[in-house]
Amino acid sequence: MVDSYRHKGMRRQLVKVVREKGIEDERVLAAIGKIPRHFFFENAFLEHAYEDKAFPIGAGQTISQPYTVAFQSELLQVQPGDKVFEIGTGSGYQAIVLLELGADVYTIEYQKELYERTRRFLPSMGYKPNFFFGDGSKGLPRYAPYDKIIVTAGAPTVPDALIDQLRVGGVLVIPVGDAKTQRMLRITKTAENKVRTESFDNFKFVPLLGADGWRK
């Protein structure tokens, strides 16, 4: 697929829209401006790739709205070299943003079809996070602790396992609520058994499934 001047122009426009909605982190905006989001879309839908909207990617799932990706990425305050665990690989777009921010990315997906597709597709774009298949609601204890954890599906509650797998000083960004709307939370692990929770805007995500998510 080609990344033309027209696509680059549309991307600049998207960055402008996301900035106007309140995103200030220049590194996050640069990543949105760099990643060819149209590579994730089938030909028939290419025109929609640079709208600030979520879009179906198959298996009943979506590529998140660019503003939402930027909002979560900004809250996560990724530093180069951070070990970041993402729950909900989906299309892989968010994982690429994290890689562009200099993170070492571990990402897990619950839908086999998406896991297989994204695991093949991202390396073809030159991006290589560590891919895992399975239920991320219990975390990924084998590689813990993480500096940052990001959940890209709506959870009914904050899974304890995710707090356990954060290092002290680490940050978890997770949307929590009911099926209709979720509140974006940023949880900082301030000591071994202590957290500070900040609550931001409302969002609408597909459900986090699994043992510590919504049951199928």
CB of 114 to ligand SAM, least distance (A): 5
* 182 forms part of the interface with ligand SAM (CB under 6 A): no
Euclidean distance between CA atoms 106 and 109, whole angstroms = 10
Q: Give the interface size with ligand SAM as a residue count (CB under 6 A).
A: 26
Stretch that binds ligand SAM, among 43-51, 108-116, 162-170, 181-189 (CB under 6 A): 108-116
Q: Which residues are registered as beta bridge partners of 58? A: 61
Identify residues 43-102 at the interface with ligand SAM (CB under 6 A).
61-64, 87-88, 90-91, 93-94
Is the CB of 91 or the CB of 165 nearer to ligand SAM?
A: 91
Quick check: is 4 catalytic?
A: no
Pairing of strands 146-151, 166-177: parallel
**Residue 56, both tokens:** 């179906």
What order of strands is seen across the sheet that includes strand 130-133? 130-133, 104-109, 83-87, 146-151, 166-177, 182-191, 194-203
Distance between CA atoms of residues 173 and 26, nearest Å: 19
- Residues annotated as catalytic are 64
- Binding footprint of ligand SAM on the chain (CB under 6 A): 61-64, 87-88, 90-91, 93-94, 108-111, 114, 135-137, 152-153, 205-206, 208-210, 213
